[in-house]
Structure 1
């Protein structure tokens, strides 16, 4: 099932119109950029071709409030965040029907930046019976998935000393077994591991130099360098915060490496793309590169392997690696495919419609959303 959000409504569209509506519940997209934060869906058996008139709309839910947040889907429910009157709410809908399951106030509504709409999606992270939401005011909140009851709350300002970034607070908490990894970017708490059940601090990583400056809005990802921890690998969290890309040891929060090449950091919304020991990162305007990590005992070295000047769309976090090809959006409306990891250009194509195009990958296709609504392409080869 596809979910299309406007400023005030959410619609469900059947990716396979032949499936009965009752069987369409069961989607799994529990956090920003999907189950593995790689912008890839695990769904299979989708249609090779859509009907000429497009897939049927199954339902539309109105009255969810105002906002730009995407959705998380798990356990037969859909979760999102929006403003209603003077409140910010987490809303849960039944996936099969769009009916309201519950709504919980998590904080006051915050006026948007006068410069532009908030870049911050604040998509909830769902982990079984719990979900983790982030408010516009900088509070991380744990709610019960079944009914929205608040279980615990942490303030990035009061608890971690963070200051509001120019385009508003935002974070995408990452669940790793019993821990919840977040990035307050406070002076003593650049990255923090919390007990996911209680919110208690397990460890925190201070900012180098003691001064935090946050203009990064990408999500944190996890790497097991040299195999899983059971195999003797070194697990780390890779995140873009405080104007640098950083690798943090999962065991104790110590900083393993940093990448601090100067660039335009007015905004950096891109989540690192990881495969093996290589990381693709796009930072601000016209700065992107493939980094190569190498383990030396308990240390990690980082090498700039394939630097590249490009205008990867700085307002879309759509980068996706499929096979040996990296897909992203460039100037508004341009879809690009590059060979991995060399970044040699394979092809460029204009997406249908006008304006910015965003996309995700599922079952051999890129699903695009542009100026004319959803479309899709099967051009996933060098040709």
Structure 2
């Protein structure tokens, strides 16, 4: 009897100890598969982890939880123990929620007034929050549609600071709202806002510099999100404005080089993609381009141009080939060296978010279809397809280990590979 009681008490002690353990610390975040920013760990939509199955049916991919939400285009942010999502409620209030990663149970919720009416030709894409937040393990940085950046405590949702860029910079409010997703680097946050590119102290919200200013209004709403890369030994911020692709000095905000990117109505939307010492981009109304950076990464030279046009979907690069969803809804494979298409498919939906692992690509079509593709430059190879949502799925897919986080227009779901 004593041994049974001792075992029971020992088990109870373990349960109590586990229950009292604190949430994972910032250092522990690195040991658990997370998705803390736009396009994942390296901002390039590539992930590591257990190999994905070759099928998407219920026997291989099961839904674990799903909760209803107001509309949003923000992709989910997945921390070690929680998921952060945004929504716009009643066309007037922006809401941020933290939910338990394993169950979807709400941990906290905060809100603030935030809404605009976008121009009529963009109405089909809605008047709700667009930017995907960023998380540093302690603080969550959320860009509201009215060009306001809010820093929240990730543990309880308490507001730490906020910056209204229209007031802080004197720029006209962006006609399409704030779309760019913030980038965290060390003690700083970078974002295209205030009709330009802004660097802020992430602890205080103080603006360090304001670069690439363009006056705001119709062309003040930059769509692309920046990345940081080292090219030819020079670490720099790569950013695509509505009119050009540029390299920017991190310390000063000085433009190191730039290249005009033709685009209809300034629809330069893709996140720039670095391939070796070259940068790839593609625009609506322009084409696809690869620029080599020379002279110590201070000059951009066009290596090639292809007539195919990207739109909103940023590509993934695998084994010397660019996999890109196009303006005409088709999917293309482009050879990095030559710029020639290896193949182009039939049309799909208007937008794909993609995540790559090895030679596999998971693509979430805005029509609610999830596709599993083998990256094969010889032919388009669709391994499986599953309709996963009757609601549009414009937000970026997030993949963390054996978990998939899918944000439909009016809900958030978590699936798990079996």
TM class by smaller structure: 0.7 to 0.9
Distance 1:114 1:262 in 2: 23
Map of 2:361 onto structure 1: 366
Look up the match of 1:80: 85
Query: Where in structure 2 are the equivalents of 1:341-360 lying within 5 Å?
Result: 341-350=337-346, 356-360=351-355
Shift of 1:78: 1.3
In the alignment, does 2:138 pair up with 1:104? no
8 Å Cα contact 1:221/1:239 also seen in 2: yes
User: Partners of 1:382 and 1:165 in 2: how far apart?
Assistant: 43
- Work out whether residues 292 and 303 of structure 2, in 8 Å CA contact, stay in contact via their aligned partners in 1: yes
Pair 247,185 (structure 1): closer, same or farther in 2 beyond 3 Å: farther
Residues 1:35 and 2:49 aligned together: no
* CA positional deviation for 1:278: 0.5
After superposition, residues 321-332 of structure 1 pair within 5 angstroms as 321-332=317-328
For 1:307 and 1:381, how far apart are their aligned partners in 2?
19
Query: Displacement, 1:204?
Result: 2.9
- Aligned to 2:362, the other structure's residue is in SS state strand
* Residue 285 of structure 1: how far off its partner (Å): 1.9
Q: 2:178, 2:222 within 8 Å by CA — same for their partners in 1?
A: no
Unaligned ranges ≥5, structure 1 = 1-24, 228-233
Kindly state the Cα deviation for residue 137 of structure 1 after the two structures are TM-superposed.
Answer: 1.1
How many residues align? The count is: 342
Contact kept? 1:27, 1:76, Cα under 8 Å: no
Conserved 8 A contact 1:265-1:283: no
1:70 to partner: Cα distance: 1.9
CA distance in 2, matches of 1:52, 1:72: 25
Of the structure 1 ranges 373-382 and 240-249, higher mean CA displacement relative to structure 2 is found in 373-382
SS at match of 1:157: helix
| Alpha-carbon spacing, 1:343–1:246, altered in 2? closer, same or farther (3 Å) | same
Q: Which residue of 2 aligns with 1:246?
A: 246
Distance in 2, matches of 1:60 and 1:52, equals 15
Provide the C-alpha distance between the structure 2 equivalents of 1:366 and 1:253, rounded to a whole number of angstroms. Answer: 35
Once the two structures are TM-superposed, the CA of residue 184 in structure 1 deviates from its matched residue by 2.0
Residue 163 of structure 1 is aligned with which of 172, 186, 192? 172
Q: Aligned equivalents of 1:112 and 1:263: distance in 2?
A: 20
Cα separation, 2, equivalents of 1:223 and 1:356: 26
Deviations 1:228-271 (A, max 9, x none): xxxxxx22111112511111111222111111254424422111
The structure with the largest helix share of the pair is 2
Supply the distance in 2 between the matched residues of 1:331 and 1:211 (Cα, whole angstroms).
28
Q: Deviations for 1:191-212, whole angstroms, at most 9, x for unmatched residues?
A: 22211111112233253xx645
Equivalence for 2:204: 198
**Secondary structure at the counterpart of residue 167 of structure 2:** coil
Q: 1:65 aligns with which of 70, 76, 79?
A: 70
Instruction: Indicate conservation of the 8 Å contact 1:65/1:83, yes or no.
Output: yes
| C-alpha distance in structure 2 between counterparts of 1:56 and 1:379, whole Å | 24
**Structure 1 residues 211 and 75, CA gap change in structure 2 (3 angstroms):** same
Change (3 A) 1:323 1:163: farther
TM-superposition CA deviations, 1:321-367 (whole Å, max 9, x none): 1121100112554221111142221122347x655444321343111
Q: Give the Cα–Cα distance (whole angstroms) in 2 for the partners of residues 264 and 51 of structure 1.
A: 40
User: Cα–Cα, structure 1 residues 263 and 50, in superposed 2: closer, same or farther, change >3 Å?
Assistant: closer
Shift of residue 279 of structure 1?
Answer: 0.4
Per the alignment, do residues 136 and 263 of structure 1 end up closer, same or farther by CA in structure 2, a change over 3 Å counting?
closer
Matched, 1:295 2:322: no
1:146 Cα deviation after fit: 1.1
Whether the aligned pair in 2 keeps the contact of 1:94 and 1:100 (CA below 8 Å) is: yes
Match of 1:310 among 308, 311, 314: 308
- Give the TM-score of the pair, scaled to structure 1: 0.81
* Aligned mates of 1:75, 1:348 — CA distance in 2: 38
